[in-house]
Amino acid sequence: MKILITGASRGIGATIAKTFAQKYQEKAEIALLDSSLKQSSCPNTSKTIIDTLNLLKTYRTKSIIPIEVDVQDPNDLVVSVNKAITKMGGLDILINNTSVLYLNPTIKEMNLLYTINTQASILTMKIARDALTESKGSIVTISPPINLAKLDLISPHPEYTISKYSMTLATLGNASNKIRANCIWPRYVISTKNPKLKDSNGKFSNGRLAKDFALAVVELAKSTKNAQTLYDDEIIELLPIQAPIDRFAHPSTKHLKKN
């Protein structure tokens, strides 16, 4: 199983890589793409893809390929994605995770939103399309369902919302009878150390564990679902938690276990 994960140095991306390694061990070949190879590009953490690589080495993963990429540079992205596919000898699963978050962006930050969230997502899927078509593979993008009827999602932070919705549209546009392409989003906020996601009390969210969301991502990647936008609790059964509903989600208990 040949897996390419973007944004794999920390957080959800690293946790998804760990989950694939735990579940599939010697059956998994995992390519880790990120801008952080030896030095973190994020001021809130020192994690790099070498840290993720060392974590995966504790499992019997068939191969782990760390590749540094500048996702803001289309030419470098083309070279890096093709390098990963060539080194693995193909591609079965693309986890399109790379994304940035700016809720009230400056002009420079707005440019990053559309360069990284929109352009890089579209280009990564385009580069991987031939290999995924050959393997009848799967794309999973970490992006939300589109709800144009609920303007309160769009109005407070239109720049960020549009960039994430563009990831969803681009993913669904790659769905075919040969490529399964789906999007997934957490119903509840995920527990995070990102200061941009502090709650109303100025504290970090006490939300869904990243490992639970990662398991839903892995299950979706291997499922027969296609051209869908789903919440994590629609893929696997998850216990209710005391945490805020995500800004892109709505309350639901249909798919949750009861205590």
What would the DSSP string read from start to end of 13-34?
HHHHHHHHHHHHGGG-EEEEEE
| The pLDDT value given to residue 252 | 65
User: Nearest to residue 120, comparing CAs of 149, 85, 163?
Assistant: 163
Q: Is the pLDDT of residue 196 over 60?
A: no
Q: Is the pLDDT of residue 259 over 80?
A: no
The verdict on residue 137 lying in a domain is yes
Q: Of residues 152 and 218, which shows the higher confidence score? A: 218
- At 199 the three-state DSSP class reads coil
- At 180 the three-state DSSP class reads strand
The 3 state secondary structure assigned to 54-71 is HHHCCCCCCEEEEEECCC
CA dist 79 and 73 (Å) reads 10
Burial 69-81 (b: 16+ CB within 10 A, else e): bebeeeeebeebb
The verdict on residue 63 lying in a domain is yes
* pLDDT band at residue 96 using 50, 70 and 90 as cut-offs: very high
Q: Is the pLDDT of residue 140 over 60?
A: yes
The verdict on residue 239 lying in a domain is no
* pLDDT band at residue 81 using 50, 70 and 90 as cut-offs: very high
* pLDDT band at residue 254 using 50, 70 and 90 as cut-offs: low
| The pLDDT value given to residue 247 | 83
Q: Is the pLDDT of residue 257 over 60?
A: no
| The pLDDT value given to residue 194 | 54
CA dist 84 and 17 (Å) reads 15
The verdict on residue 77 lying in a domain is yes
Q: What is the pTM of this model?
A: 0.90
Give the total number of structural domains in the chain.
1
* Residue range of the domain that includes 77: 2-234
CA dist 137 and 3 (Å) reads 10
Residue type, 163: S
pLDDT average, residue stretch 209-230 = 96
Looking at every residue in the chain, the average pLDDT score rounds to 88
User: Nearest to residue 232, comparing CAs of 135, 101, 158, 243?
Assistant: 243
The verdict on residue 250 lying in a domain is no
CA distances, 66 to each of 22, 30, 56, 81, 104 (Å): 18, 9, 11, 11, 32
CA dist 45 and 193 (Å) reads 9
- At 229 the three-state DSSP class reads strand
| The pLDDT value given to residue 155 | 78
| The pLDDT value given to residue 37 | 62
The verdict on residue 251 lying in a domain is no
Residue holding tokens 């906020």? 189
| The pLDDT value given to residue 135 | 98
Mean pLDDT lowest for which of 26-35, 208-217, 247-256? 247-256
pLDDT tens-digit series, residues 121-139: 999 999 999 999 999 999 9
| The pLDDT value given to residue 258 | 40
Could you tell me the CATH number of the domain that includes residue 62? Answer: 3.40.50.720
According to DSSP, residue 195 is labeled: G
| The pLDDT value given to residue 191 | 80
Instruction: Kindly state the percentage of the chain with pLDDT values over 70.
Output: 86
Q: Is the pLDDT of residue 219 over 50?
A: yes
Q: Is the pLDDT of residue 209 over 80?
A: yes
The verdict on residue 19 lying in a domain is yes
The verdict on residue 258 lying in a domain is no
pLDDT average, residue stretch 27-43 = 76
